[in-house]
């Protein structure tokens, strides 16, 4: 049975990160760090200990008198727990449903997660306040997000990456296998680090799933300009195009999607070639900076929510 956590996990994340850093500390020090009473701290510790039982053989919290210790296996990655905590939230569940489902209603969501319509409605309203800054709005009757289609893809990319950090794959096993196969045909010409590869797989999945829902990007000469000025693009264009071979769409729209997909491939690289395009029109090229700034801003905003 799926469940939603009504209480935010930010305090538990902060507590766990503090214990990871200190290894052993006092109850008093924890109270000061979290700015909570001893009673609240002990409640948080009890809930966190219960949550961590799934990793009992590798990780545990030990409380002895006034001392709190975090004991973990040397090979265990704490990010595994951080990801699980971030996922186990109403915020994640609602936005994930918004992206994954074509037209999920509040009733559908309430039924799936065994909670009331009013509870989901209030959660939706809280998220709506957060996303209003990006000029996104929820559809009145569903969980569908509306707004600039390019911006929505950047938003969902940052949303999934900042919650999951590449430690979990939320887009289905079959799609993962398909995208891995396509990436193998790309990596000879454009090798990526392990993290860059995972980021690009997220990006490919988001673009593909949005196209499947007929949420194609608007035409923007920037993406074509950037791609065609890069000699690597011609080497991978056919592979990128194959991502959409089973999707019916106008040829020009498909071209735009391929350019946009490649733009994402450049952005996930630590050292990308956007700054080395010398013959591009300065006015159009200048548009890359706001897009990159937007990506960074979204990442920072999501970090505040999920870290």
Question: Tokens for 275?
Answer: 């700054």
Based on the fold, state whether residues 141 and 173 are members of the same structural domain.
Answer: no
**2 lies in some domain:** no
Output the pLDDT for position 10: 80
DSSP code for 52: G
Based on the fold, state whether residues 172 and 236 are members of the same structural domain.
Answer: yes
Based on the fold, state whether residues 170 and 300 are members of the same structural domain.
Answer: yes
Blockwise average pLDDT, block size 10, the chain, 307 residues: 48 91 94 93 92 94 92 93 88 90 82 84 86 86 88 90 92 96 93 94 96 89 86 93 91 93 89 51 45 48 36
Output the pLDDT for position 305: 36
CB 137 within 8 A of CB 145: yes
Output the pLDDT for position 8: 56
Output the pLDDT for position 302: 41
Based on the fold, state whether residues 76 and 98 are members of the same structural domain.
Answer: no
Which residue matches tokens 């592979």?
Answer: 239
Give the range of the structural domain holding residue 266, as residue numbers without chain letter: 148-306
Q: How many CB atoms lie within 10 A of CB 279?
A: 7
- What stretches of the chain show up as alpha helix (H) in DSSP? 10-22, 27-34, 38-51, 79-87, 90-100, 106-112, 117-131, 149-164, 173-186, 194-212, 221-228, 233-242, 251-267, 282-285, 288-306
**129 lies in some domain:** yes
Based on the fold, state whether residues 175 and 301 are members of the same structural domain.
Answer: yes
Contacts of 67 (CB under 8 A, 6+ apart): 24, 25, 26, 27
CB 298 within 8 A of CB 134: yes
* pTM of the shown model: 0.82
Based on the fold, state whether residues 206 and 251 are members of the same structural domain.
Answer: yes
**Tell me, what CATH number does 46's domain have?**
1.10.10
Number of independent structural domains in the chain? 3
Look at residues 147, 173, 192 and tell me which one is the last residue of a structural domain.
147
């Amino acid at each position: 049975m799926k469940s939603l956590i009504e209480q935010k996990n930010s305090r538990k994340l902060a507590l766990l990160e503090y214990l990871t850093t200190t290894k052993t500390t006092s109850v008093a020090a924890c109270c000061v760090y979290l700015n909570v009473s001893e009673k609240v701290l002990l409640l948080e510790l009890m809930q966190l200990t219960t949550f961590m039982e799934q990793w009992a053989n590798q990780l545990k919290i030990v409380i002895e008198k006034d001392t709190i210790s975090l004991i973990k296996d040397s090979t265990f990655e704490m990010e595994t727990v951080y990801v699980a905590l971030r996922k186990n939230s109403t915020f994640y569940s609602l936005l994930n449903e918004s992206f994954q489902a074509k037209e999920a209603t509040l009733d559908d969501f309430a039924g799936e997660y065994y909670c009331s319509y009013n509870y989901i409605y209030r959660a939706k309203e809280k998220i709506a306040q957060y996303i209003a800054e990006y000029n996104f709005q929820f559809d009145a009757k569903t969980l569908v997000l509306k707004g600039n289609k390019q911006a929505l893809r950047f938003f969902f990319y940052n949303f999934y990456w900042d919650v999951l950090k590449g430690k979990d794959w939320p887009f289905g096993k079959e799609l993962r296998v398909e995208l891995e196969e396509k990436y193998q045909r790309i990596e000879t010409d454009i090798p990526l680090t392990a993290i860059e590869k995972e980021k690009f797989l997220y990006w490919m999945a988001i673009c593909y799933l949005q196209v499947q829902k007929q949420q194609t990007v608007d035409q923007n000469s920037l993406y074509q300009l950037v791609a065609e000025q890069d000699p690597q693009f011609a080497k991978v264009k056919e592979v990128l195009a194959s991502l959409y071979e089973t999707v019916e769409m106008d040829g020009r729209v498909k071209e735009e999607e391929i350019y946009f997909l490649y733009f994402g491939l450049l952005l996930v690289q630590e050292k990308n070639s956007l700054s080395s395009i010398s013959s591009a029109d300065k006015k159009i090229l200048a548009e890359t900076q706001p897009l990159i700034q937007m990506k960074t801003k979204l990442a920072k905003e999501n970090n505040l929510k999920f870290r």
